[in-house]
Structure 1
């Protein structure tokens, strides 16, 4: 016998935003996912944060935007952006280097 899964309003909201993005509402989907991200905060459920970040990245066409946009404003986001900055530069250099 299969148990009925528990309702997860955060996953439902993420799923709704992802579907919107796949249907062409990319800007609105990004806004919705960023709002959910802000609500989750740095102490949000790691599963929710991981799923959200993965799907949010899929909504960006520029690899540089894809890596850092979901970080929250403020000291935490600034700290992570500073740490990631060198990595982004290395990746960009690698991605644009001639073969």
Structure 2
């Protein structure tokens, strides 16, 4: 007999809010994710905290607000295990989360003119590139890391056109 993991209602709710945000309903998506955050709590399931915080950060145009959530996402990732992420999807590995998490932190710090911190997170993202899968997702993260590194070297604080949360 094959057992299937039971549906994760919290991950489903997070996914629905993310879809709403990507459809341009940022304020509503933020409200839903913030309500979920209140339910999960700061000591809740790290998979839920990491995923929610990562996507909630993308719903903020202000890099300081996004930074708060990206730090929370990284902190939650540090509490995750491969076993837990594979309960959500068998193909996932926690190591594959880090390039994107560090990319987002680098971009936020860069936008806030904290170029040394930005450079440190861009370097951390580059060090973890081998954890990214081949294909569109991995390619998009690699490209974004290059874009952020270039913007850091130019001391640019301008939003990247390809960054999440660049439109209201």
2:53 maps to which residue? Answer: 53
Following superposition, the deviation at residue 3 of structure 1 comes to 5.1
The CA distance in 1 between the partners of 2:45 and 2:114, in whole Å, is: 33
Structure 1's consecutive aligned runs of 4 or more residues displaced over 6 angstroms after TM superposition are none
TM-score normalized by the length of structure 2: 0.41
On the 8 A contact 2:17/2:33 being kept in 1, the answer is: yes
Q: How does 1:1-99 map to 2 (within 5 A)?
A: 4-68=4-68, 91=109, 92-94=112-114, 99=155
Q: Write the deviation string for residues 56-84 of structure 1: whole angstroms up to 9, x where unpaired.
A: 001111111112269xxxxxxxxxxxxxx
SS at match of 1:93: coil
For the residues of structure 1 that align with 2:42 and 2:56, how far apart are their CA atoms?
16
Unpaired segments ≥5 residues, structure 2: 71-108, 116-153, 156-168
Could you tell me which runs of 5 or more consecutive residues in structure 1 were left unpaired when the two chains were aligned. 71-90
CA RMSD of aligned residues (A): 2.6
Please report the TM-score for the alignment, with normalisation by the length of structure 1: 0.67
State the match for 2:149 in structure 1. Answer: none
